[in-house]
């Protein structure tokens, strides 16, 4: 015989399911933003460098090389331009 869940248990189950779905969508959003926005990665490098390091290592493991170097070159160039009063054309 199939047992039905009590109303309180159903609410808890639905709540946990909603929280899990929000977590999945949030993780996807952050990954997509980090994967497509160099400015977002720069913000990550200042606030959460350990997370950005994991990101770089994971994409290098998947065979995508050069993202870290491109980011560092752009950030260095923009830092040099801002120190002499120039604005980057990007």
Q: What is the pLDDT of residue 20?
A: 98
In terms of domains, do 30 and 42 share one?
Answer: no
Q: In which region does residue 3 sit, left (phi positive, over 0), alpha (psi from -120 to 50) or beta (all else)? A: beta
Task: Note whether 77 and 62 are same-domain residues.
Answer: yes
Domain count, the chain: 2
pLDDT score of 85? 61
Neighbours of 52 (CB within 10 A): 20
DSSP string, 15-68: HHHHHHHHHHHHHHHHHHHHHH-HHHHHHHHHH-HHHHHHHHHHHHHTT--SHH
Examine the domain organization and report whether 45 and 73 are in the same domain. yes
Shared domain for 32 and 14, answered yes or no, is: yes
- pLDDT higher than 70, residue 1: no
| Distance between CA atoms of residues 55 and 77, nearest Å | 22
Q: Identify whether residues 29 and 46 lie together within a single domain.
A: no
Range of the domain at 54: 37-84
| Residue 44 included in any domain | yes
Domain for residue 15, yes or no? yes
Q: What is the pLDDT of residue 79?
A: 80
Whether pTM > 0.85 for this model: the answer is: no
Backbone conformation region of residue 20, classed left if phi is above 0, alpha if psi is from -120 to 50, else beta: alpha
């Amino acid at each position: 015989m199939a047992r039905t869940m009590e109303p309180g248990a159903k609410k808890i189950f639905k709540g946990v399911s909603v929280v899990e779905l929000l977590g999945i969508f949030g993780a996807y959003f952050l990954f997509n933003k980090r994967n497509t926005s160099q400015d977002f990665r720069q913000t990550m490098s200042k606030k959460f460098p350990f997370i950005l390091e994991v990101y770089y290592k994971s994409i290098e493991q998947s065979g995508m090389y050069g993202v870290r170097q491109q980011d560092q070159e752009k950030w260095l160039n923009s830092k040099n331009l801002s120190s002499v009063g120039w604005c980057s054309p990007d």
